[in-house]
Structure 1
Amino acid sequence: MKNKYKLIATAAMGLEAIVAKEVRDLGYDCTVDNGKVIFQGDALAICRANLWLRTADRIKVVIGEFTATTFDELFEQTKALPWGDYLSEDAEFPVIGKSVKSQLASVPDCQAIVKKAVVEKIKQHYGIQSAWLDEKGAVHKIEVAILKDVVQLTLDASGIGLHKRGYRADQGEAPLKETLAASLVLLTNWTADKPFVDPFCGSGTIPIEAALIGQNIAPGFNRDFVSEDWEWIGQSLWDKAREEVENKANYDQHLDISGYDIDHRMINIAKENAFEAGLGELITFKQMQVNDFTTKKDYGVIIGNPPYGERLGERPEVEKMYKEMGKAFASLDTWSIYMLTSHEGFESLYGKKATKKRKLFNGFIKTDFYQYWGKRPPRNM
C-alpha cells in the first residue's frame, strides 16, 4: 500500500481559494481547479482534512485516472486498479457517476460497468468463489466521473457532507450552509479579540462558526465520518487526529459574539444550536431589529446574510430595511461591515459604495459579499 494518496477537497463555486488556504494551513501543498482543491497526503491527512476543513464540501480519495472511450476500456482499466487495498472483503460499495462531454455518455451504464469491474477485482483479490459479494461491511462509496473521456475513480471519505457539523438541532426556512458561513467569517478581518455581530442571525450559523474559528475548534469535532470504519486507515489514526483536535482547541479564548434577529422563534433555535455545539455560554442571542442596533464598542466586525427580496412581494420591505440598516450603521466608522445579498441595488439602498465586492453562490443564488472596511485601530492597541 502506498503511503501517499491523491486527495480532493471539493468546494462550492467561488470558495476554492479559501479551501486551498485551509489545506495549506494544515501543511499540505495543493493545486486549485474548478470546484476542487487537489493535494497529496498520507492516511492521517484524510482524517485531518475531514476534521479541520471548514469550507470544503467533502474529501475524496483518488483511486485511479485513465482515458476510456469504450465500455471495454472502462471495465478493464477499472479492474486493473488495486481495489483490494481499499475495500474489505465484505465492503458495501455503491457506485455513483457523472459524465460530461464524453463518448461514454450513459451514466447508468458507466456505473454498472464500474460496479462489475470492482466486483471481479475483489473476488479475485480475496479468492471469493460465490457469484455475489456480501456487501454488509463498511461503506465505500465509489464515484466514476468522466470529463472529455478522462475517467476519475474516487472514494468518498466524508460520508455526510462536511457542512453537517452535528450541532444543528433546528433551522429556519432558508438556512445558510455551515461551510459558506465559515467562509464569510474567514473572508473578513475579524480576529477573536474583536467584537462580532450578526444582525440577521437566523438559526445562529454565522455566530456559531465564528465561535468555532475564534477558539480554533475543528468543525468536525462533533460528528462521525464514513472513513472511520475503513480498515486501511484504522482507528489509531483517527484517535491521533482527534487528539490533535482536542490539543489545538483554545477553550480559554474570550469571545464577544452576538447574534440578533427580528424573529424570537429563530433566536430560540439559535440558542439551542449553540448549546448543541457546546458554545451556548459564549454567544449572546437577542431578538432585535437591525435599525435598533447601537454599540459603544470600537473596531468590531458585523457580518450579515439579510433577506434578499427574491420574492416580488418582499422586495419593498427588504429595500426599506437596507436603507434603515445603512442609517443605523453610518456612525460605526471603526467597524468593518460585511453583507451577503443577491440584491443588485444594495449599495445605493445602503447609501454607501462597498470597499470591495466578492461574487459568491448561496446554494444556486448568485450573490455579492459587500465589504465595508472600518478604520484601523491605533498601533498601540
Structure 2
Amino acid sequence: MGKVTLIATATMGLESLVAREVKDLGYEDVQVENGKVTYTADEAGICRSNLWLRTSDRIKLKVGEFKAFTFEELFEKTKALPWADLIPANAEFPVIGRSVKSKLFSVSDCQAIVKKAVVESMKKKHKTDWFKEDGPLCRIEVALLKDVATLTIDTSGIGLHKRGYRYLHSQAPIKETLASAMIMLTNWRPEMPFIDPFCGSGTLPIEAALIGQNIAPGFNRDFASEDWPWISKDVWDKARQEVEDVANYDQKLTIFGSDIDHKMVELAENNAMEAGFGDMLKFKQMQVTDLRTKLEYGTLIGNPPYGERLGERDEVEHMYRNMGKLFREELPTWSVYMLTSHEGFEELYGKPASKRRKLYNGNIKTQYYQYFGPRPPKN
C-alpha cells in the first residue's frame, strides 16, 4: 500500500498532546487542526497508532478531500477515489456523516450519495453488482466543513478510550483518553508517588500505571483494521510484539486511589485487576479530608465533584476549602492538579493556580488547575 494519510481525532484542547504522541512514534509531516491531527504513515502506522495513542479518540484513514457544492460533485468525486483498493468485496461499509457551514447540509442525503458512489466505484474492480456486506467493518465518514468534503475510513472500530479493562464503571466516569491527558500534563514520573483522592472506578490510577510501565493503552483490545486483508497479519504481529518488547513490567510504582464510596473502591480494584495491576495499585475508602501520607514530592491528581447538581454546590464548596487547607498543610512538597467546572475553585481552594488549562470533560467545559510543588533535592 505504501504511504497513507491518517487522521487522529482529538477532544478539543488535546490536539497538541495527540500531535506530541504522533511525533514520539516517529511520524512527521504532522498538521494540527481543531479536533484532529493529520500525518503521513505506512501500514504499520495504522497498527502502531491504534495501539499507542493514549489521548486520541480514534484513527481514521483519509481516502480523499475535495470541494463539493452540489450532490453531483459529491457523487462523481467520491466515485473517483480508490475505494476498491481499500474495501474488500465482502466488507460491511456503512456511511456516517456530518456537515458544518456547507451548501450540502442534509447529512442523510450526503450519506446516501456517498454510499451509492462507493458502490459504483467498487463494482468494476470486484466484478459484482451486489455486495453482501457480511465481512470486515470499514465504516466510511463523509465530513463536510465549509464546502470541503473529507472522506475517511475508521481504522479503530470501538473508540480508543475503550481500553478493555473497564467493564464496570461509575455513572459519570472520566474517559480514559482525558485521564491520560491529565497525567501527561503533569510533572509526574514513574518513580514518584501518585495519588487520586476521587478515584471512582480507578481510571486515573490505572492510566498512570500504564504510562509508568510504558504499556500501550491498546494492548488488551482489538481494532476494526485487524480484519482488513491489505494489512497483513505479520504487520499487526510485529506492532504487537513491539508493545511487548518495550513494556517495562519491572518498573515499581507507588500509586494510590481513594473514594468516599466503598462501591467505587470495589469497582476500582476489579478494574485494576482486569488491567493486570491487581496488587500493584492500592485503593481505600476514605474522604479526601482524611488523606495523610509521609511520602514527599509526589503528584496528586483529582476529578472532584463539580457541584453542578441542585443542592450539591454548598457541600462541594465546603470540601474545596477544606481540601486546599489540608493539602497546603499536609502535602507541602506535592504538586496538585484538579479538574473542575466550578469557576470559583481558586478562591475556594485558597490559592491561585500556577497554571491552568481549558479541557472538556464530555460536554462540560472545565479548567485544569495546576499547583506546582517544589523540586525534589538532588541525590
Map 1:53-68 → 2, pairs under 5 A = 53-68=53-68
Q: Out of 321-330 and 195-204, give the one that drifted further.
A: 321-330
Question: What is the alpha-carbon distance in structure 2 between the residues aligned to residue 326 and residue 135 of structure 1?
Answer: 57
The aligned counterpart of 1:101 is 101
Q: In the alignment, which residue of structure 2 is the partner of 1:219?
A: 217
Partner of 1:20: 19
> Residue 169 of structure 1: which of 161, 167, 170 is its match?
167
Q: Report the 3-state secondary structure (helix = DSSP H, G, I; strand = E; otherwise coil) of the residue aligned with 1:340.
A: strand
Deviations 1:316-347 (A, max 9, x none): 11111111111211122211000000111111
CA positional deviation for 1:105: 1.3
Q: 1:40 is paired with a residue of what secondary structure?
A: strand
Question: Which residue pairs with 1:326 in the alignment?
Answer: 324
Residue aligned with 2:39, SS: strand
Superposed displacement of residue 312, structure 1: 2.5
SS of the residue corresponding to residue 311 of structure 2 reads helix
Matched letter for residue 52 of structure 2: W
SS at match of 1:330: helix
- Cross-structure match for 1:40: 40
1:249 to 237, 247, 250: 247
Separation of aligned partners in 2, 1:230 and 1:165:
21
Matched letter for residue 79 of structure 1: K
Q: In the alignment, what sits opposite 1:77?
A: 77
For the residues of structure 2 that align with 1:359 and 1:105, how far apart are their CA atoms? 30
| Paired amino acid for 1:209 | E
Return the match for 1:138 from 130, 136, 139.
Answer: 136
What is the one-letter code of the residue matched to 1:25? D
Equivalent residue for 1:371?
370
In structure 2, runs of 5+ residues without a counterpart are none
Give 1:134 shift.
1.3
Aligned equivalents of 1:257 and 1:83: distance in 2?
47
Q: Distance in 1 between matches of 2:187 and 2:298?
A: 9
How far apart, in 1, do the equivalents of 2:240 and 2:19 lie? 22
Q: How many residues align?
A: 377
Specify the code of the residue in structure 2 equivalent to 1:246.
Answer: E
- 1:22–1:53 Cα contact (<8 Å) kept: yes
> Counterpart of 1:218 in 2: which secondary structure?
coil
- More displaced, 234-243 or 208-217? 234-243
Q: CA RMSD in A?
A: 0.8
* Secondary structure of the corresponding residue to residue 256 of structure 2: strand
Distance in 1 separating the partners of 2:277 and 2:168:
16
Deviation at 1:31, TM superposition (A): 1.3
Q: Which residue of 2 aligns with 1:338?
A: 337
Secondary structure of the 1:197 match is: strand
Q: Is the 8 A contact 1:339 1:370 kept in 2?
A: yes
Shift in Å, 1:379: 2.2
SS in 1 for 2:258: strand
Cα distance in structure 2, aligned partners of 1:298 and 1:225: 41
Contact preservation (8 Å) 1:290, 1:328: no
- Residue type of the partner of 1:24? K
Q: Structure 2 CA distance, aligned partners of 1:100 and 1:340?
A: 30
State the secondary structure of the residue aligned to 2:229. Answer: coil
Q: Is the 8 A contact 1:215 1:250 kept in 2?
A: yes
Q: CA deviation at 1:349?
A: 1.0
Say if 1:294 and 1:328, in contact at 8 Å, map to a contact too. no
The one-letter amino acid of 2:107's match is: V
Aligned residue number for residue 357 of structure 2:
358
Tell me the TM-score normalised to structure 2 length. Answer: 0.98
In structure 1, stretches of 5+ residues that fail to align are: none
Structure 1 runs of 4+ off > 6 angstroms?
none
Task: In structure 1, give the amino acid aligned to 2:70.
Answer: T
Structure 2 Cα separation of the partners of residues 102 and 339 of structure 1: 39
TM-superposed CA distance for 1:169, in Å, is 2.1
Distance in 2, matches of 1:293 and 1:134, equals 59
TM-score under structure 1 length normalisation: 0.98
Instruction: Indicate the percent of aligned positions where both proteins have the same amino acid.
Output: 66
Distance apart, 1:287 and its partner CA:
0.6
